Amino acid sequence: MATQTQAQFKQSLKKYYSLYAGGFIAFVILLAIAEQMGLPNRWIGYCFLFATVGLYAMIGIMSRTADVAEYYVAGRRVPAFFNGMATGADWMSAASFIGMAGGLYIQGYDGLAFIMGWTGGYVLVALFLAPYLRKFGQFTIPDFLGERYGGHTARSIGVFAAVLCSFTYVVAQIYGVGLITSRFTGLEFGVGVFVGLGGILVCSFLGGMRAVTWTQVAQYIILIIAYLLPVVWLSVQITHFPIPQLSYGYALEKVTEREKVIKVDPKEIEVRNILKAKATDAEAKLKDPAAAYAADKAAAEKKLADLKAANAAPDQVAAAEKSLTAFPKDVDAAKAQWTKEKGLAARAAPPRPHAEAFVGKDDAARNTARLNFLALVFCLMVGTAALPHILMRYYTTPSVEEARQSVGWSLFFIFLLYFTAPSLAVLVKFDVYTHLVGSSFADLPRWVASWAAVDPTLVSIKDLNGDGIVQLAEIVLGQDIIVLATPEIAGLPYVVSGLVAAGGLAAALSTADGLLLTIANALSHDVYYKMIDPHASTKRRLTIAKMLLLVVAAIAATVASQKPADILFLVSAAFSFAAAAFFPALVLGIFWKRASSWGAVLGMAAGLGITFYYMAMTQPWLRGLFGVTSPVADNMWFGINPISAGVFGVPLGFAVIIIVSLLTPAPDKKTQELIEHVRYPHLRGDIDTRAT
C-alpha cells in the first residue's frame, strides 16, 4: 500500500466502498425474499446483527497496524470525502438516529434547537479549527494545548475535560447498543451491552484510528440507507413526492388543521378531563400519603367485602380482588404511583401546535422559552466545535486543503440525516393524527401491538373514556418509536425494520468507537507518553494504548449495564463542558498570539468551573448529589436551564483568558512561530510540528 499514490488510493477506496454498498443492498434484497418465503422476524434480526457486526470486524482486522501514525491518525491519508463520511458516522449517535425525530415529534419547533445546534457547529469547526489543527498535525487535542501553552498544566486540563465529556457520551452509546440489540434479538439488556461491546472493540482494538476510520465509513453507508429508505417511502405515500424535505409542507398543513379540530373535540376534552382529575387526585393524596394510603386500602377492602356480602356476579368480585392485589404494597410504592399519576397533567393539555415557536402561557414564559432555545443552540454549536472525538478526525486528512473540504463533506453527510428528521416527525404525526386518532380500538394498526409488546414505554394506548374510539390524549408515544415504527407505518416488510435496527446499531457503534479511542489516546499519548515516559518505544506505546482501550471499554460497559438514570442529561451536559473547556483556549490559541499559558489554564478552569457550578445549583440530580437545598428559582440566571450552562462558561472562559493574558508576559518566540506556522498551510523554510 505504501507504494500507492494518494490518487490511486482514492480510486481503490471508491471501488471498494461502491462494491460494499452494492453488496449490502443485495443482502437486504435477499433477506426480503427470504422473508416472503417465510423466514421468521427474529431470524431477520439475527442476520442483520451478525452480518453487519461481522463486516465491521472484518474491516477492523484488515486494518490492524503496528505503526504509531496509522494507529493515532490513520496515516494521515484519509481523503476529504471519506473523512466526511467517517465524521458523519462518528458524529451521529444512537440518539440522533433513533431519538431525534421522536424529539421533534414531541417538541415541535422547540426541538429544532438540536437540529440547528448539531449542524451549525460545523461552521465554527470549518472557520476556526479544522484547517489549523490539521496544519499543527499531531495526534490529540490536548497535544495542541500542551504545545501552544507549554508545560503540562494546560495539557492536563485538556485530558481531564476530554475524558469527562467523552466518557459520559460513550456510556450513553453503549447503553444504546444494548437497547437496540435486546429489542431486535430478544437477548437480555445486559447481554446486549456486552455483545455490543464486542462489536465496538473489534473495530478499534487492532487498528486504532485506521480501523475506526474505515469501519465508520462502512457504518455511515448502512445508517444513511436505513434512515432514508423508510422516510422516502412514507413521503411517496403521503405527499406523492419522493423528497420529503420539500414536500412535507402539505402534511404540516393537515397536521395544523387536525390540531385545531382535536383541541375542541368534545371526546378529546372528556379524556383530558379524566387525566386532569386523576392528576389532581394524586396531587391531593401526595400531600398526606400515609392517610390517603390507609383510606384507599380500606375502601378497596370494603368494596370487596360489600360485593361478597351482596352476592355480586363472580366477575365483579374477581375484578375487585384483582384491584386489591394490584394495590401498592406500602406507602412508598403508593407515593411512586401517585407521583407518576400527577405527571398525567402534562397529557391533559391540548396538543401543542407543531410549527409554533416558543410555546408559553404568556409573553414572559415565551421569552424565557426563546432565550433557552437560543442558549441551547449556542451550547450545542460551540460544544460540537469542541468535542475532541470530532476535532481529532481532521488530523487524518492528507492536507490543510483537504481538511477544509472535509468539514464540508462532514456536514453534508450529517445534513442528509438531520434535514430529513423534521420531515419524518411531521409525516408520522400526520399518520397518527389522521389515521390512528379516531380509529376503533378493535382494529388498531399492527405496529401498536407489536411495539407495545417489545417495550411498553415505546407505545401505549388505553381507552380511558371507554368509547371504543382512539383519542389523541389516550395515546402515549415514546421518543424512540417514531423512527422504529416508520417502516411499519409506511407498510414496508419487516426486513426494513431490521435494516433500521442495523442503522441504529451502526450509529451507536461508530460513535462509541470514536469516543473510546479519544479517551484511550488522551490517556496513552498525553498522559503516558508525553508526561510519564517520553522515551517509551513505539511497541510499548501501542501496547499501552490498546490495553487502556480495553480497560476504558470495560468500565464504560459496566456503567452502562447499570442503566444510569440521568444519562440523557449527562450527554447534553457534555456539550456544555466541552464548549467551556476547549473552545476559548483553542480559538484564542490560534487567533491571538498574545494568549498566554496562565490565561489559558485559568480560562479553561474558570469556564469548566462556572458551568459545573451552575449545573450543580440548578439540575435536580446534581443538586441531590451535592446536597443543594436552596430553591432552584433563586439559583437560576435569566431563567437559563442547566443543560445550557455553557452559555455562561464560554464567555467567561474567553474573558479570563484575555484578562489574565494581558496581565502576564507574552508567549516566547517559539510559541509565536508555532502560531504563524499553523496559520499558513505552507511557509518556505518553516518549522515542522508533525508528530511521528
Partner 1 sequence: MQLTERHKEYWRRNMKMTAILLAIWFVVTYVVGWYARELNELVIFGFPFGFYMGAQGSLIIYVIMIFYYAIRMNKLDKEYDVAEGEG
Ramachandran region of residue 4, left (φ > 0), alpha (ψ -120 to 50) or beta?
beta
Consecutive H or E run containing 505? helix 494-521
Taking the complex as a whole, how short is the minimal distance between the CB of residue 673 and partner 1, in angstroms? 7
Is residue 64 a contact residue for partner 1 (CB under 8 A)? no
| SS3 (DSSP) at 491 | coil
Q: Does 332 bind partner 1 (CB under 8 A)?
A: no
Among 52, 63, 65, 119, binds partner 1 (CB under 8 A): 119
Residues in the chain, overall count: 692
- Residues with Cβ within 8 Å of 592's Cβ and at least 6 positions away in sequence, in order, are 658, 661
C-alpha cell at 550: 480495553
When binding is defined by CB under 8 A, the residue of 92, 94, 98, 126 that contacts partner 1 is 126
Q: Which of 109, 214, 494, 614 is in the footprint of partner 1 by CB under 8 A? A: 109
Identify the three-state secondary structure at position 592: coil
Q: CA–CA separation, 41 vs 45, rounded Å?
A: 6
- Rounded to a whole number of angstroms, the minimum distance from the CB of residue 687 to partner 1 is 8
Nearest distance, CB of residue 6 and partner 1, angstroms: 7
**266: contact with partner 1 by CB under 8 A:** no
Distance of alpha carbon 395 from alpha carbon 403, whole angstroms: 8
For residue 101, the minimal CB distance to partner 1 (Å) is: 11
- How far is residue 309 CA from its own chain's centroid? 58
Size of site (CB under 8 A) for partner 1: 56
Interface of this chain with partner 1, residues 348 to 367, rule: CB under 8 A? 355-358, 366
Report DSSP state, residue 463: -
Does residue number 691 form part of the binding site for partner 1 (CB under 8 A)? no
Q: Checking DSSP bridges between strand 459-461 and strand 475-477, what pairing results, if any?
A: antiparallel
- Rule CB under 8 A: is residue 252 a binding residue for partner 1? yes
Q: Which is nearer to partner 1, 112 or 616 (CB)?
A: 112
The minimum distance between CB 98 and partner 1, in angstroms, equals 19
Rounded distance, CA 690 to CA 231, Å? 44
How many CB atoms within 10 Å of residue 492? Answer: 18
What cell was used for 106?
414531541
- Could you give the CA distance from residue 504 to residue 480 in angstroms, rounded to a whole number? 11
CA 310 centroid distance within chain: 58
Q: Is the dihedral of CA 533, 535, 536, 541 positive or negative?
A: positive
Residue choice 221, 411, 472, 571 for contact with partner 1 (CB under 8 A): 411
> Under the criterion CB under 8 A, does residue 679 sit at the interface with partner 1?
yes
- Closer residue to partner 1, CB minimum distance, 105 or 293: 105
**Residue 329 and residue 326: Cα distance in Å, rounded?**
8
637 binds partner 1 (CB under 8 A): no
Q: Does 42 bind partner 1 (CB under 8 A)?
A: no
CB nearer to partner 1: give 380 or 516. Answer: 380
Nearer to partner 1, 407 or 505 (CB): 407
434 binds partner 1 (CB under 8 A): no
How many whole angstroms separate alpha carbon 597 and alpha carbon 173? 35
User: Based on CB atoms, which residue is closest to partner 1, 306 or 673?
Assistant: 673
The span from the CA of 413 to the CA of 403, in Å, is: 15
Helix, strand and coil content of the chain, in percent to the nearest 5, comes to: 80, 0, 20
Rule CB under 8 A: is residue 511 a binding residue for partner 1?
Answer: no
123 in contact with partner 1 (CB under 8 A): yes
Grid cell at residue 93: 449517535
The answer to whether 680 contacts partner 1 (rule: CB under 8 A) is yes
Query: Is residue 26 a contact residue for partner 1 (CB under 8 A)?
Result: no
List the x/- string, 371-400, binding to partner 1 by CB under 8 A. --xx--xx--x----------------xxx
Task: For partner 1, give the closer residue by CB, 165 or 381.
Answer: 381
Q: Does the protein bind partner 1 through residue 296 (CB under 8 A)?
A: no
Which cell is 439 given? 380509529
Provide the minimum distance between the beta carbon of 235 and partner 1 in the complex, in angstroms, as a whole number.
14
Residue with smaller CB distance to partner 1, 45 or 131: 131
CB-nearer residue toward partner 1: 155 or 354: 354
Residues 462/465/470/475 CA torsion (nearest 10 deg): -40
Segment near partner 1 (CB under 8 A); pick from 431-439, 558-566, 574-582, 673-681: 673-681
Please give the helix or strand (H or E) that residue 459 lies within, else none.
Answer: strand 459-461
- The C-alpha cell at 378 is 449556542
331 burial type by CB count under 10 A (0-12 exposed, 13-18 middle, 19+ buried): middle
By CB under 8 A, name the one of 58, 449, 532, 683 that touches partner 1.
Answer: 683
> Closest CB to partner 1 among 414 and 508?
414
Stretch that binds partner 1, among 126-134, 227-235, 313-321, 637-645 (CB under 8 A): 126-134
Coil, strand or helix at 640:
coil
Q: Which helix (H) or strand (E) holds 477?
A: strand 475-477
> Is the Cβ of residue 67 or residue 686 nearer to partner 1 in the bound state?
686
**Closest CB to partner 1 among 375 and 516?**
375
> By three-state DSSP, how is residue 440 classified?
strand
Nearer to partner 1 among residue 20 and residue 128 (C-beta): 128
Which residue, 245 or 460, has its beta carbon nearer to partner 1? Answer: 245
* Shortest Cβ 301–partner 1 spacing (Å): 54
Shortest gap between Cβ of 238 and partner 1 (angstroms)? 12
Determine which residue in the list 47, 57, 112, 164 makes contact with partner 1, applying CB under 8 A.
112
Minimum gap (Å) between residue 312 Cβ and partner 1: 56
DSSP code at position 476:
E
Is residue 588 at the binding interface for partner 1, with CB under 8 A as the rule?
no
Residue placing its CB nearer to partner 1 in the complex, 101 or 334: 101
Indicate whether 581 belongs to the interface with partner 1 (CB under 8 A): no
Q: Which stretch binds partner 1 (CB under 8 A): 49-57, 228-236, 414-422, 438-446?
A: 414-422
* 327/415 with CB nearer partner 1: 415
Contact 425, 105 (CB under 8 A): yes
Cell of 410: 462532514
Q: By CB under 8 A, what part of segment 297-316 binds partner 1?
A: none
**Any contact of residue 570 with partner 1 (CB under 8 A)?**
no
Phi, psi of 253 (to 5 degrees): -60, -45
CA distances from 90 to 389, 508, 515, 523, 665 (A): 8, 9, 8, 20, 40
**Residue number, 388 or 422, with CB nearest to partner 1:** 422
Which residues ranging from 168 to 227 are in contact with partner 1 (CB under 8 A)? none
Cβ proximity of 235 and 242 under 8 Å? yes
Work out which of 405, 479, 597, 644 binds partner 1, going by CB under 8 A. 405
Cα 637 from Cα 272, distance rounded (Å): 34
Is residue 116 a contact residue for partner 1 (CB under 8 A)?
yes
Residue ranges in 37-185 assigned as alpha helix (H): 41-62, 68-73, 80-91, 94, 100-107, 112-124, 130-136, 141-149, 153-185
Q: Tell me if 506 sits within 8 A of 120, measured CB to CB.
A: no
Contact positions toward partner 1, by CB under 8 A?
6, 109, 112, 115-116, 119-120, 122-124, 126-128, 131, 245-246, 249-250, 252-253, 355-358, 366, 370, 373-374, 377-378, 381, 398-401, 404-405, 407-408, 411-412, 415, 418-419, 422-423, 673, 676, 679-683, 685-687
